[in-house]
């Protein structure tokens, strides 16, 4: 696939559908010098959902709901990568350091599509088809871990197991986001007001997590891992809060 097509694919879905061909053509004609501006434009549009055109009714709300679940999926993977952690424990046994979870969970609840009446059978079918593969992958991983056949893996075996583990987690996260997208036609999408609140709540939770992680970094010797996690959380927090603020301004207009 050409670089111009890949860059055009980074734009919000409604923008791609309406102007994707033109964007790809302009990037291809302008060459590599246009890449920074094109990438900046994609980021800017993701932060301004009020500027998106709608080719279908409710398209903006559906994309935002999926995007919010993608943000929470990335956050969950980050937490798993840093576990165990005294800074971001993400469990009920440590209420102080897990306080950042409260607004995120509230935001997830607000952004979740609700099943329509008489559509539970279709929703169940969509859920089974979407989650069958990741469920099987997780079961295989659990069986391998508890079989006793591989107690102390080393070398290639250890590397293969680690790759399978993280690939399974990433695939499961991807399929959960896909489920939200596929469930939209048979569910009631959250209102713009609810999505605005969800963006701000999730952004606030991520900002709290960023602050906790940053405070720990300043008190200890810095390492690449914690710094990367902190920067990623900070970027996610800034993006969700900015998008939520933009959506709120459109409501007020």
Residue 92's pLDDT is 66
C-beta atoms surrounding 244 within 10 Å: 25
Residue 151's pLDDT is 67
- Give the distance between the most distant pair of CA atoms in the chain: 63
Residue 196's pLDDT is 94
CA distance 246 to 238: 12
Helix intervals (H) in the chain: 3-8, 13-30, 35-46, 59-82, 101-111, 120-146, 155-183, 192-219, 224-252
Residue 81's pLDDT is 81
Residue 91's pLDDT is 64
Give the tens place of pLDDT for each residue, 61-87.
999 999 999 999 999 888 888 766 667
Residue 189's pLDDT is 87
Residue 225's pLDDT is 76
Given a cut of 70, the residues of the chain with pLDDT beneath it are: 1, 83-86, 90-94, 148-151, 153, 221-222, 253
Residue 4's pLDDT is 86
Residue 150's pLDDT is 67
Q: DSSP class of residue 215?
A: H
Helices 59-82 and 101-111, interaxial angle, to 10°? 150
């Amino acid at each position: 696939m050409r670089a111009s097509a890949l860059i055009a694919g980074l734009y919000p879905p409604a923008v791609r559908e309406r102007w994707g061909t033109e964007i790809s053509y302009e990037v291809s004609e302008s060459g590599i010098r246009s890449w920074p501006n094109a990438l900046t434009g994609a980021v800017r549009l993701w932060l301004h959902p009020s500027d998106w055109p709608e080719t279908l009714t409710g398209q903006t709300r559906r994309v935002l709901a999926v995007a919010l679940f993608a943000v929470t999926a990335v956050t969950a993977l980050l937490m798993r990568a840093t576990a165990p952690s005294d800074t971001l424990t993400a469990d009920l046994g440590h209420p102080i350091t897990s306080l950042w979870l409260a607004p995120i969970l509230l935001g997830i609840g607000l952004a979740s599509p609700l099943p329509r009446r008489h559509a539970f059978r279709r929703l169940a079918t969509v859920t089974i088809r979407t989650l069958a593969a990741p469920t099987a992958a997780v079961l295989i991983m659990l069986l391998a871990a508890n079989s006793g056949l591989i107690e102390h893996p080393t070398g290639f075996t250890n590397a293969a197991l680690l790759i399978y583990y993280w690939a399974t987690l990433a695939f499961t996260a991807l399929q959960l986001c896909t489920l939200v997208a596929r469930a939209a036609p048979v569910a009631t999408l959250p209102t713009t007001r609810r999505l605005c609140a969800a963006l701000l709540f999730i952004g606030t939770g991520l900002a709290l997590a960023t602050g906790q992680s940053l405070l720990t970094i300043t008190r200890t010797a810095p390492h690449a891992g914690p710094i990367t996690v902190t920067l990623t959380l900070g970027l996610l927090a800034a993006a969700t809060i900015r998008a939520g603020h933009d959506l709120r301004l459109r409501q007020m207009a």
